[in-house]
Amino acid sequence: MASGTRTKLLVLGALPLVLLLVPLLFPSPFHLRVAALVWINAVAALGLALLMGLAGQVSLGHAGFMGIGAYATALGPKHLGLDPLASMGLGLLAAGVLAFLVGRPILRLKGHYLAVATLGLGILVHLVLVSEVPVTGGPDGIQVPRLELLGWRVAGPATWYWITGIVLLLAAWLALNLEDSSTGRALRALHDSEVAASVVGVDVARHKLVVFVMAAVYAALAGGLFALFNRFVTPEVAGFLRSIELVTMVVIGGMGSIPGAVVGAALLTVLPQALTLFHEYEHAVLGLLIILFMVFLRQGIVPGIAGLLTRRRAA
């Protein structure tokens, strides 16, 4: 779309700017750690935004793929003696293959049925991580070895801030390119009408599968980054609440919007930290804020604000 190229330029201009500004405004290690978490979550939310926003398919088990990426990165070095980065690569592959195998049958389902099927998938992954204690370390979690690249020990919040930020930038660039391509148009088309998409030649099942696999790989990438950054993972990374959080990020940022996924991820990662001053009311305030956002910016933050701006300009 014509506005698609504009969004692309805007995001690819604004995101590096934000990446540069954050360390200048918030240089403390704590803030950089939170920012790195935002970038990591944003990568997972981006994948989900492609699946939900572009193609209109729901996944309530997406943290499962994050868990696969995270645990592959943790377990490869421990059990197979692999390099952590190579293990992470295997994790992406595993998540992609699992999404491909599971996606075929479950993407035939629609709406609530698809939601429940993906929910089951996420719970299954979580269950395996919790119960296979000898392999995964069980509910107590597992240590992740430090990443070393050609003798360089990758450590420190600032380093991870830049690594995760650049990965996010690349992930957003790929997603924006996809949106404005033949495959992207086909995905948006089947979101609105599968039957109309199919009669103009779109292989609906194949396209849904492609975007499901992509979303899974994005989530696994986020999981792997998280494991390397945090140096410790527990099964909670694949938990149901994490899946819901990811969906909330996409919805609150704006379903069809790639910048929206980043904004949603930022909000849901930063807010709980900022709200700690409310002590035990933290979760209540977070919930309230989410409700308010949904009431006043129903299409999500980014499309909602963009709509307000264009209306003001027109007036």
Partner 1 sequence: MSLLEARDISIAFGGLRALDSVGFAVDPGEVLAIIGPNGAGKTTLFNIVTGLYRAQAGEVRLDGREVTGLPPHALAARGLARTFQNLQIFFRMSALENVMVGRHLKERRRLWAELLGLPSVLRENRESRERARDLLAFVGLAERAEEAAAALPYGALKRLEIARALACEPKVLMLDEPAAGCNPVETEEIDRLIVAIARRGVAVVLVEHDMKLVMRISDRVLVLDQGRVLAEGTPQQVRSDPRVIEAYLGRRGLETAHAA
**Using CB under 8 A as the criterion, which residues of the chain lie in contact with partner 1 when the complex forms?**
1-2, 173-174, 176-178, 180-186, 188-189, 191-193, 195-204, 210, 256
The backbone torsions φ and ψ at residue 255, rounded to the nearest 5 degrees and listed phi first, read -50, -50
CB of 180 to partner 1, least distance (A): 7
Nearer to partner 1, 64 or 256 (CB): 256
d(CA 46, CA 48): 5
Residue (of 55, 32, 68) closest to 243 by Cα position: 68
d(CA 36, CA 199): 44
CB of 179 to partner 1, least distance (A): 10
Nearer to partner 1, 206 or 283 (CB): 206
Nearer to partner 1, 83 or 180 (CB): 180
Rg (CA), the chain: 19
Nearer to partner 1, 144 or 217 (CB): 217
Cα within 13 Å of Cα(309), Cβ side:
6
CB of 305 to partner 1, least distance (A): 18
Q: Which are the contacts of 92, defined by CB distance < 8 A and separation ≥ 6?
A: 69, 72, 217, 220, 221, 224
Residue (of 9, 41, 64, 3) closest to 235 by Cα position: 64
CB of 270 to partner 1, least distance (A): 29
Nearer to partner 1, 37 or 50 (CB): 50
Nearer to partner 1, 38 or 255 (CB): 255
CB of 117 to partner 1, least distance (A): 22
CB of 171 to partner 1, least distance (A): 10
Residue (of 163, 160, 182) closest to 171 by Cα position: 163
